[in-house]
Structure 1
Amino acid sequence: MTNIFSSRDSREALELLSEQFAMQVRRKKEEPFFLALSGGETAQQMFRLWTERFSGRIDWDTIRFYWVDERCVPPQDSESNYGHAHELLFGPLNILPAHIHRIQGEEEPAAEAVRYAQEVREELPHRHGIPRFDAIILGAGSDGHTASIFPDSISLMADQNLFAVSAHPGSGQKRITMTGPLILNAAMLLLPILGKSKAHITPLLLGNAPERELLPAGYVISHARHISIYTDPGSHPLQPPLPDK
């Protein structure tokens, strides 16, 4: 089932996403909640929102943090997804280090993909023989990529390894990414598609044209059992205008 939520701006979209995420955390009560995070500007905006508005509304001690993908750089690097999360979220909320399971981007990529897959396999509950996250928060690039699966590496959507090595098609930078089967096994997928840079790709991702499955984000939307998508007027300019509050 696909739910699409159209908001007045990106902050309202992320507030709605966060409210739904918080509700799922409360449903598990004191049990560990396994969450996989993405990186990028939208994630950074979300982390700031969480520290400002949700610090006292979520039991952060129950959450176990993992990553959808990571650039192959040290954690102190300005491009590290973990580094941004540490600065904007983990530090301000005093998250216990034992609850943070980062991809070690400074290690040899292929070996680290294997190591991290084994850690996820050992720590998470399983469904259909595959680890199952309680929630995965994805992103979508202007080229239709999600996680670090790009259109030229769409085969990773069917890769039976939990994590694999990919490369950015422009820079060639290596990434470690979650693969399709693990993404699609999550209990809940949350996908914000925000900003004017996504305006040309959003109609294709949300439409029914068969070519959307050639885009990683479109493939996920097509195959997900349950996914919630959040848009704003910049990313989805053809959506009907919302009434004033």
Structure 2
Amino acid sequence: MKIEYCKDSKTALRIMTEHLTQLMQEKGLEPFNLALSGGETAKQMFSLWVEEYRDKIDWNALRFFWVDERCVPASDSDSNYGQANRLLFKPLHIPEEHIHRIKGEKEPGAEAMRYSWEVKEYLPLFNLMPTFDCIILGIGNDAHTASIFPNTMELLSDSRSYTVSQHPASHQFRITMTGTLILNNSPLLIPVFGEDKKAVIEHLADRFSPSNDTPAAYILSHAVDATVYTTE
């Protein structure tokens, strides 16, 4: 794991985006399979991409997937897909066939299974599981990542690709990528900003241990290629 310290969040997102474009160039002409997260940092990222990278990235080469999704309709303000659609896909005229969304309005268990099959059919396999060309993760104040929370640590080693989780405070159901899929040989790019995240960042440099047993620490301790982008 590497931690890139930058002067501000916009600079950090630029450096992360340059890393993403490098990965795209290394892959070449094939479609590039990217898994997105939602949240406030994602909003900043989408806005930056539209403002500064409209003509610098081959958007037609990208195929978009999701790390996790809240179990709400796409029209709901909580929907990660809805957020990306408003801020990124529509402004950049991304074709619908390039977007593989989790249908948060469907029954969670059935949708987690359906999406697992969609991802498995579309992506190349590594260790008999799908593998993404890049995964952009977020980290919460409680050091959760994807929708794997400190009280659902078993999802870190779940053998499925996607499953159902539940937010410990709101009890909202979510569909989430498991730790097994996150760690299946994909480069991880992780932007983490905000004063409320500084304590989380301090602990990320420590390896996963009984005193640092959070989902984020586990993922970063086991990832083959993970870079955190944050502010000084």
Normalised by the size of structure 1, how large is the TM-score? 0.92
1:44 corresponding residue in structure 2: 43
Once residues 171 and 126 of structure 1 are traced to their aligned partners in structure 2, the CA distance between those partners, rounded to angstroms, is: 35
1:153 corresponding residue in structure 2: 152
Q: Percent sequence identity over matched residues?
A: 51
1:241 corresponding residue in structure 2: none
Q: Deviations over 1:112-137 (max 9, x none)?
A: 00000000000000111110100000
Once residues 186 and 226 of structure 2 are traced to their aligned partners in structure 1, the CA distance between those partners, rounded to angstroms, is: 9
Indicate how the Cα distance of structure 1 residues 214 and 59 shifts in structure 2: closer, same or farther if over 3 A, else same: same
CA contact (8 A) 2:208 2:214 kept: no
- Report which stretch shifted further, 8-17 or 210-219: 210-219
Once residues 127 and 164 of structure 2 are traced to their aligned partners in structure 1, the CA distance between those partners, rounded to angstroms, is: 24
Once residues 112 and 14 of structure 2 are traced to their aligned partners in structure 1, the CA distance between those partners, rounded to angstroms, is: 32
Once residues 48 and 86 of structure 2 are traced to their aligned partners in structure 1, the CA distance between those partners, rounded to angstroms, is: 13
The aligned runs of 1:82-97 (5 Å cut-off) are 82-97=81-96
1:164 matched to 2:163: yes
1:35 corresponding residue in structure 2: 34
- Report which stretch shifted further, 106-115 or 50-59: 50-59
Secondary structure of residue in 1 paired with 2:83:
helix
Q: Deviations over 1:28-64 (max 9, x none)?
A: 2221100000000001100000011111111111111
Number of equivalent positions:
232
Secondary structure of residue in 1 paired with 2:155:
helix
1:128 corresponding residue in structure 2: 127
Once residues 23 and 79 of structure 2 are traced to their aligned partners in structure 1, the CA distance between those partners, rounded to angstroms, is: 27
User: What amino acid is aligned across from residue 108 of structure 1 in structure 2?
Assistant: E
1:223 matched to 2:201: no
Q: CA deviation at 1:186?
A: 3.8
Q: CA deviation at 1:91?
A: 0.4
Secondary structure of residue in 2 paired with 1:34:
strand
2:71 corresponding residue in structure 1: 72
Q: CA deviation at 1:214?
A: 1.8
Secondary structure of residue in 2 paired with 1:101:
coil
The aligned runs of 1:1-245 (5 Å cut-off) are 2-208=1-207, 210-211=209-210, 214-233=213-232
Secondary structure of residue in 2 paired with 1:199:
helix
Q: Deviations over 1:63-118 (max 9, x none)?
A: 11000000000000000000010000000100010000000000000000000000
Once residues 62 and 209 of structure 1 are traced to their aligned partners in structure 2, the CA distance between those partners, rounded to angstroms, is: 36
Q: 5+ residue gaps in structure 2?
A: none
Q: CA deviation at 1:213?
A: 5.2
Once residues 107 and 209 of structure 1 are traced to their aligned partners in structure 2, the CA distance between those partners, rounded to angstroms, is: 35
CA contact (8 A) 2:208 2:217 kept: no
Normalised by the size of structure 2, how large is the TM-score? 0.97
Once residues 109 and 180 of structure 1 are traced to their aligned partners in structure 2, the CA distance between those partners, rounded to angstroms, is: 18
CA contact (8 A) 1:212 1:219 kept: no
The Cα RMSD (Å) is 1.1
Once residues 211 and 180 of structure 2 are traced to their aligned partners in structure 1, the CA distance between those partners, rounded to angstroms, is: 18
User: What amino acid is aligned across from residue 17 of structure 1 in structure 2?
Assistant: M
CA contact (8 A) 2:203 2:212 kept: no
Secondary structure of residue in 2 paired with 1:201:
helix
Once residues 172 and 74 of structure 1 are traced to their aligned partners in structure 2, the CA distance between those partners, rounded to angstroms, is: 17
Once residues 73 and 133 of structure 1 are traced to their aligned partners in structure 2, the CA distance between those partners, rounded to angstroms, is: 25
1:238 corresponding residue in structure 2: none
Once residues 161 and 211 of structure 2 are traced to their aligned partners in structure 1, the CA distance between those partners, rounded to angstroms, is: 23
Once residues 208 and 164 of structure 1 are traced to their aligned partners in structure 2, the CA distance between those partners, rounded to angstroms, is: 26
User: What amino acid is aligned across from residue 147 of structure 2 in structure 1?
Assistant: S
CA contact (8 A) 1:136 1:186 kept: no
